[in-house]
Amino acid sequence: MSFPLPPNYSSVDKAVILGMGGSAIGGDLLRSLTLEKSKIPILVHRDYDLPALVNERTLVIASSYSGNTEETLSSFSQALKTPAKKLVITTGGRLKALADESSVPAFCFEYAAEPRAAFGYSFFSVLGLFQRLGIISIESRDIDETIRVLKEITARFNHDVPLETNPAKQLATKLWERLIIIYGAGILSKVAFRWKTQFNENSKTSAFSECFSELNHNAVVGYRFPEWLAEKGVVVMLRSPTLHPHILVRYEVTAELLTDAGIPHEVVNAKGESPLAQIMSSVLFGDYVSYYLALLNGVDPSPVAAIDYLKRRLAEVNI
């Protein structure tokens, strides 16, 4: 990518990605992808205050689609007072202005959409930056496979593909008017969270996410109550055949426990062989399902009125 970086930006021993919502999920998935390959720890931070661990050996990346996310602006403003290496990813707004004022490199892109729909920019821009800095290494063949798999999914799940042969539409009908809980593990842990947030924002429906194997130490005991959970709840398990063998066994046993409790459940297998392809294919599948569920709910997936109201109320408060 053509984006100049100061040469000393490679001299870091940790990275902190500042962001919220759709601008932070790219960092989450990148961390999942590189957990076993990254040469340095990567932290995704969602808060007003900067972590105390930030120092001159830290790469701080502020990611905000609008450039006006107040939590990100607050923590980035604090980062400007530190000797940390700093980067900005945004379309503009106050964040871009702060970066320009402080001579901080800013990767700006143009994409008119809801922030959650700009996920590709928040993910691949950081992936490219980390690749250039030598923090991680992704093979070109993995990128090629990912593109191929995503094209295949789009062809199968697109709106003009009828229900009878469209897995995304079929799953949406099974989730309609139910309380949705998404399970994930390993590289799919944060994908489960992405599904949860997409159901919240696109479908305007309640959804929650859990991760293996932690959920086997608590959540499985909560299947008994409320008693209406068997009638109104549904669990979606995002699965990859490359997960730890014991985790795969946990999927099977958890499915048995759900069946015993009478709670419906579905298993969605990631597509592709590389971790990158599996993550991206699972994200795209969830995005399609959330869109079709929005249509079943009779709502426009784009507006997020509750979030807009909350932002207006916060703007009225002087702290």
Q: How far is CA 87 from the centre of its chain?
A: 20
Residues 6+ apart with CB under 8 A from 244: 185, 186
Residues 168 and 291 in one domain: yes
User: Cβ of 191: how many Cβ atoms within 10 Å?
Assistant: 30
Residues 70 and 177 in one domain: no
What's the pTM? 0.94
The CA-atom distances, in angstroms, between 260 and each of 50, 165, 283 are: 46, 30, 29
Residues 282 and 204 in one domain: yes
Q: Which of 132, 155, 187 is the last residue of a domain?
A: 132
Give the side-chain half-sphere CA count within 13 A for 141.
2
Tell me how many domains the chain contains: 2
Q: Which of 111, 132, 153 is the last residue of a domain?
A: 132
Which residues constitute the domain of residue 193? Answer: 140-297
- Give the model confidence (pLDDT) of 133-181 as tens digits: 888 888 899 999 999 999 999 999 999 999 999 999 999 999 999 999 9
Give catalytic status of residue 39 as yes or no.
Answer: no
Residues 108 and 228 in one domain: no
Pick the catalytic residue from 39, 151, 159, 311.
Answer: 311
- Give the model confidence (pLDDT) of 249-307 as tens digits: 999 999 999 999 999 999 999 999 999 999 999 999 999 999 999 999 999 999 899 99
Pick the catalytic residue from 71, 145, 201, 210.
Answer: 201
Query: Is residue 316, in this structure, part of any structural domain at all?
Result: no
Average pLDDT over residues 31-35: 87
Pick the catalytic residue from 36, 217, 227, 246.
Answer: 217
- Domain with residue 219: its CATH number is 3.40.50.10490
In 3-state terms, the chain is what percent helix, strand and coil (to 5)?
Answer: 50, 15, 35
Give catalytic status of residue 217 as yes or no.
Answer: yes
Give catalytic status of residue 311 as yes or no.
Answer: yes
Residues 100 and 144 in one domain: no
